[in-house]
Amino acid sequence: MSASFRVLNSRVSALCLSLTPRNHPVQCSVGGRWLSCSQTGENLRPLEGVRVLDLTRVLAGPFSTMILGDLGAEVVKVERPGAGDDTRAWGPPFVGAESAYFLSVNRNKKSIAVDLKHPKGARIIQELAGVSDVLVENYLPGKLHEMGLGYEQLSRVNPQLIYCSISGYGQTGPQSQSPGYDSIASAVSGMMHITGPEDGDPVRPGVAMTDLATGLYAHGAVMAALLQRHKTGRGVHIDCNLLSSQVSCLSHIAANYLNAGKEARRWGTAHESIVPYQGFKTKDGHIVVAAGNDKQFVKVCQVLELKELTDESKYKTNKLRVQNRKQLLHTLSERFLQETTSDWLKRFDGSGVPVGPINNIQEVFSDAQAWQVMWFCWLLQTGISSRHWGSLQPSAKWVG
């Protein structure tokens, strides 16, 4: 840590306002740290030495900065005095007085409370920005500029600062001043239109995928900006928003409309262009089968002991199966109902056909393969007292 930042740490500690009462287990202090089982010591992580000033709250921004922290960056999270990040109260469940929601996206961070509307508070942020590599914020466009904390202002203080703005609808345009939440962006972007049962109403995805996708885009943009700064010596202003992030994730759905004028619809667990590629009810649960080519379809029929289907001309190719999906799926569905999920998984084992059960969350964390590829660990929250909680570690690992 540089001498200038050590001095600033002391000053911030003296000026910042506590988020919580004196005896609360999470005291607001620059020295407080979300600790994890991430690599330390001789195995330096990619962003060791990079300092991130985190002015975000709720999900998209905190998710992005948490990933940067997981990769080794020093993240200083700035929250409003008193209540702090809204998600601290989003529960139950709670771990002590903190919501599990808040803890899920705020590991590997230091936390301070600063009143940005107060001149002294704004000066603290200006000084922190002056010794930071990255600033991430998710205020309404223009709000931080009014406080003297916009990109143009802070880049004069620190020309190398990478300033990432996360918003609902972008920095410009007729809706730029509208607040952005995942469910709204999911609706406006068309995501809800294509999600849900085939003959049912639109459905919100079970997790805030628009926020999470935006956080991933923001994290990737920051990583690219760090590389660019290495070449140019200058920072940049990144505009990342929920709407464009989710629309870009429409992928082939968007391509179908842009190139063929084809309007999308809801398919439940099925795929509009591949059959069979969906979930099926079994005697005691559900199984998902994904026959992505003709060879795999033949294998499915062999496992189900329905080899006669492979001889029918109307099922010879995927294009024909899509055209005749209703009758084929009816036959397959009736067969899957005759055995349990575990029985079907055993039958498909070694067949080369991608299959899997639809797990509940308890089953996810009991799955041997999930334990093999994910990092589940207990994290230590330091402060006036210490608490432990369970968390996921990054899905991308450094293996060499």
Q: Which residue has the tokens 């067969």?
A: 335
> Do the beta carbons of residue 133 and residue 39 sit within 8 Å?
no
Q: Are strands 236-241 and 94-95 parallel, antiparallel or unpaired?
A: unpaired
User: Which are the catalytic amino acids?
Assistant: 211
**54, 62 contact by CB (below 8 A):** yes
- Identify the H or E element spanning 12: helix 3-15
| Nearest C-alpha neighbor of 274 from the set 250, 257, 248, 296 | 296
Contact 318, 296 (CB under 8 A): no
Instruction: Determine the angle formed by the axes of helices 341-348 and 294-303, rounding to 10 degrees.
Output: 120
Query: What does 162-210 look like in DSSP terms, one character per residue?
Result: EEEEEESS-SSSTTTTS---HHHHHHHTTTGGG-S-TTS-----SS-HH
- Rounded CA-CA distance 34/75 in Å is 10
What 3-state DSSP class applies to 260?
helix
Instruction: Write phi, then psi, for 56 (nearest 5 degrees).
Output: -105, 165
Of 244, 146, 185, residue with least CA distance to 58:
185
From residue 137, how far is each of 44, 62, 233, 240, 275 by CA, in Å?
27, 9, 22, 10, 44
Contact 66/72 with Cβ under 8 angstroms? no
Euclidean distance between CA atoms 310 and 297, whole angstroms: 8
